[in-house]
Structure formats: structure tokens, C-alpha cells
Amino acid sequence: MNPNIMTPIAMTIAGSDSGGGAGIQADLKTFAALGVYGCSAIASLTAQNTLGVQGVFPVPPTFVQAQIQSVLGDIQVGAIKTGMLATADIIGAVAESLADNDIPLVLDPVMVATSGDRLLAEDAINTLILKLIPRAAILTPNLLEAAALLNTQVASSIDDMERQAQQLLAMGAQAVLMKGGHGTGEEATDLLLTSAGVDLFSAKRIATKNTHGTGCTLASAIAAGLAKKLVLRDAVAQAKDYLHNALVHSSELHIGQGSGPVHHFYKFY
């Protein structure tokens, strides 16, 4: 191995999914599948499986900060992804911990699980908007999350998605990826908005119940691309392709009785 070639490293700050399909577990699987070394700070614990979330235990904010500071004080992280942060205090602690560095942040505003269980306290939304969105290199809401952040109706067309992306961009993020997985039609279209304009990424919609962890996986794949020094558009394109294939191969896994996970390691088994 050439000692002069840096190892691409990404960090996830998110919740733990005891069922293994989303959260920290999905993030680390995604990093590994895409050739990136993964670090983590656990912001909350969940009792969770493919049928739903039975319990959430937030980690004390000071200990979330301790994990972040420990990793960043030693390891040269190339990109950070945040997921389920659960409470306003944890969001504030994360924002404070990341204030003094310029590591690209992929912010996945996790609010509701695939099962419908709420994962972000109602009073935490404003803290997310004020303290963390302005720090984001890219914000990656699905259609439901975008509507909740803007307190408006769910987008039902590409034009709606672009209008809402513009409003979210005005909150301070450098880029917004509106994810179209909750939309309708034969194709799932994601809309990327940056100061340079709009890019659309479309893929055939996959008929599968194994969609647990799709948002975590996409955001982590973007972070993996940024850790490998890809430009943002290429990181998003790679992530979209990776998630699509993980969904295509999800039927090869037989995990649990409910909404199963995507197949993160479809290239390997």
C-alpha cells in the first residue's frame, strides 16, 4: 500500500437501529460497500425491528459531543453524515461540535421511520433549521420531511419539488436533494438544487417492501462519495445508482416480518 495515498474516511452521527437495517448500522455498511472507512458517534439508541420502533433512548448530549471530539481529534475524516438526532439538545450539541471545522456535512433530517414511527421531537425541528441546516453541504429530505420543515403540503410534482428546494436552500444549506421515493409514477426522481441550478436523477421505481433504511443509505452513500473527493453532483449520482441496485437486490434478503432492509452488500453476496 502506498503510504502517501490517504484512506477515504467518513463519519456518521446518528441513531442505532437494533434491527440493523437503518441508522448507524446502515451507514457503516454503506461506507464499507463503497470502499470508505467508517467512524461513528451514536446519538440515540432504538429498540427497533422490521415491524417498527418499540423504544428510543437519547444519548446525553455531552456524550454525543465526547464521541465526535474523540473521532475528529485523531482521525482525518473527509465527510460527515448526520441522521436521527432525536432531540433539540442533541442537535445543538452536534452543531456546536462541528462549528470549528469545514468538513462537508450531509444532513439527513430524519423525522419519521419507514414504519411511521416519529424519530424527531416536534420542538427539535426549529433547532435543526436554525443550528444545523446552515452548516450543511447538502440537505437530503424526502418529500414528507421537506413538507414538515416548511410547514406546507407534500410536493406532488417536479415543479413543487423545485419550489420547496429553493425555500430549503434559503435556510442556509449549500445544496438540497429532494428525494422522490415517496412520490408516484414509474420512476423515482430526485431533484438536486445548488447555486449552479437544478439536476434531476431518475431511476425505475422498484416494487418491494424492503425499503427500510433507504434514506440513511442514500445520505451515507453521498458522504462516501464526498470522502473520496468526488464533486457533489457525482457523489449524488453514485449514491442514487448504489441505492437503486441495493433496492433491486433487496429481495435476495429475507430479514424479519415487516419492511426489510435494502441489500447493502449486493456486489459481494
179 part of the active site: yes
Out of 30, 46, 194, 211, the active site residue is 211
211 part of the active site: yes
Cβ neighbour number for residue 211 with a 10 Å cutoff: 18
Out of 131, 214, 240, 260, the active site residue is 214
Q: What is the DSSP letter of 258?
A: S
Out of 15, 38, 83, 213, the active site residue is 213
Measure the CA–CA gap between 76 and 139, rounded to whole angstroms: 23
Out of 38, 183, 216, 240, the active site residue is 216
Strands 37-49 and 138-139: unpaired
Residue 52: strand pairing partners: 49
Q: Which string of DSSP letters, residue by residue, matches 66-119? A: HHHHHHHTTS--SEEEE----SHHHHHHHHHHHTT----EEE----B-TTS-B-
Q: What letters, b where the CB count within 10 A reaches 16 and e where it falls short, cover 154-165?
A: ebeeeebbbebb
Residue 190: strand pairing partners: 201
CB 212, CB 250: distance < 8 Å: no
7 part of the active site: no
Out of 81, 131, 179, 228, the active site residue is 179
Out of 183, 215, 225, 260, the active site residue is 215
Measure the CA–CA gap between 17 and 47, rounded to whole angstroms: 7
Active-site residues, by number, are 179, 211, 213-216
